[in-house]
Amino acid sequence: GVMEKLGTRKGQLKNMEPDGKGRVRLDYMIPARGLIGFQNEFRTLTQGSGLLFHVFDHYGPKEQGAIAKRQNGVMIANAPGATPAYALGPLEERGRLFAAEGDNVYEGQLVGIHSKDNDLTVNAIKTKPLTNMRASGKDDAIKLTPAIKYTLEQALDFIEDDELVEVTPKEIRLRKKFLTESDRKRAGRSG
């Protein structure tokens, strides 16, 4: 798994030595942009038992081709407002969420990772309709899994060319370069 992932990040294996204790030392030459976000992925791949060190070697020509792209699309908010659990519950079935209950979002902000490979514009601020009827049973309290909160490095690794990372003193948010859906479609046609 580790060798495959380093290969997709333009890493070149230079040396491989088993140490006789069940471990293997891998020496790679890899561009610095290939290392962005890899440390977290490495911990996951080695289940926390791997050791990763990196040292600057030299300046070289830029490797051709893209560094490993993500496989999934994203869920994009279609309007500004606060996110109620009523709206996030159904979205959680479509993927993992960046937005927690009560977060303020705006149009074009990424609110989650879609389980499929396409981007999906969603209504993350949908409120429960208020009716004068009493429910026969008590409303089920919607249980949400905790939202994904990326570090700056993880956010930079996650985004694609049409996305931006917004850094404020309190939060790190992900958003599309073009906030409205019509602007994104127009940019997709021209680009």
Task: Over range 148-162, report the average pLDDT.
Answer: 87
Write down the pLDDT at residue 109: 93
Q: Which of 40-49, 165-174, 178-187 has the highest mean pLDDT?
A: 165-174
Q: 74-129+139-190 — its CATH code?
A: 2.40.50.250
Contact 6, 30 (CB under 8 A): yes
Residues 6+ apart with CB under 8 A from 136: none
- pLDDT at 5 (0 to 100): 86
User: What is the pLDDT at residue 191?
Assistant: 64
Would you state the pLDDT for residue 32?
Answer: 85
Could you report the per-residue pLDDT of 120-134, keeping only the tens digit for each? 999 999 988 877 666
- Under 8 Å between Cβ of 166 and 172: yes
Q: Do domains 2-45 and 74-129+139-190 have the same CATH topology?
A: no
Cα separation, 28 vs 191, whole angstroms = 35
Domain parsing of the chain, residue ranges: 2-45, 74-129+139-190
In the block, residue with structure tokens 């049409």: 162
| Amino acid 138: pLDDT | 52
The pLDDT assigned to 166 comes to 94
Average pLDDT, the chain: 86
State the Cα–Cα distance between residues 107 and 188, nearest whole angstrom: 18
Task: In whole angstroms, give the CA distance from residue 166 to residue 161.
Answer: 14
Alpha helices for the chain (secondary structure H): 2-8, 32-35, 38-45, 85-92, 152-158, 181-190
pLDDT at 183: 86
Is there a contact between 166 and 173 (Cβ–Cβ < 8 Å)? yes
Domain spanning 2-45, CATH class = alpha beta
pLDDT in tens, 96-119: 999 999 999 999 999 999 989 888
Mean pLDDT across 150-165? 88
Q: What is the DSSP letter of 79?
A: S
Judged by average pLDDT, the poorest of 14-18, 59-63, 168-172 is 59-63
For range 28-42, the mean pLDDT: 84
